[in-house]
Amino acid sequence: MSTTSPERVGLRERKKTELRRTLIESGLRLFHEKGYEATTTEEIAACAGVSQRTFFRYFASKEDVVLDAVEGVDEVLCAALRDRPCDEHPFRALRNAMRDHWAILERENLHLHGSAGNFIARSPELFEANMRYCHRRQAKLAEVIGERTGVDPAVDPRPALVATVFFAALNNGFQAWAASGCTDDTDGLLRAFLEQLDLVPEAVCETWSADGSGDQT
């Protein structure tokens, strides 16, 4: 009976992760050079030095190449949220986790996220797919919020509500960033996100005023 050592399994998983990243980078590079619609999965595979069959082991479509770049950032966000103080309000913890996860990501990873966001903003097809994907992201985030607060999202609607408001604010920030024309500025994307997140308490819980200030009611 043969066994596989943990070291060999770990090496295999690292190679898979590296190839997935190479495919994402190759896809984003070709999308930039040729345009999203004009790029084929065969070309992405060739650029990454693998067969088209290998490409489809990792991604169902070229659309998934873009969305996977965004998902990688979500995983870091969830990890950062788990590290926030347990007594921090869930929405404030999310806001601070967003700030913190930006700081701990490598600049190259941020560039991938920014590039993916750029293509999502330009392509109606990708924008629509990303909106559908957001529902899965919200469910995953609600699970982490439930873990932090000791409630079951399947019974208590608050984790899902917080996650929905959070992603709505991010969507507003993303659209503002895309409209600015500075879509290579990933720090600008973070600023747009945080500005929208900071507006949520006033927009939802306070009395509105023309100058942007508000009083608790």
Q: Is 1.10.10.60 the CATH classification of the domain at 9-60?
A: yes
Enter the CATH code of domain 62-203: 1.10.357.10
Residues 6+ apart with CB under 8 A from 47: 26, 27, 29, 30
Question: Domain residue spans in the chain?
Answer: 9-60, 62-203
Joined together, the tokens standing for residue 49 give 């030095």
**Tens of pLDDT along the chain (217 residues)?**
445 555 665 788 889 989 998 999 899 889 888 888 899 999 999 999 999 999 999 999 998 988 887 776 677 888 889 999 989 999 999 999 988 877 666 555 556 666 677 777 778 888 888 777 778 889 999 999 999 999 999 999 999 999 999 989 988 988 888 788 776 677 788 889 899 999 998 888 766 666 655 554 4
Can you tell me the distance from the alpha carbon of 2 to that of 121, in angstroms, rounded to the nearest whole number? 50
Q: Is the entire prediction scored with pTM above 0.85?
A: no
Contact between 145 and 176 under an 8 Å Cβ cutoff? The reply is: no
Read off the DSSP letter of residue 206.
Answer: B
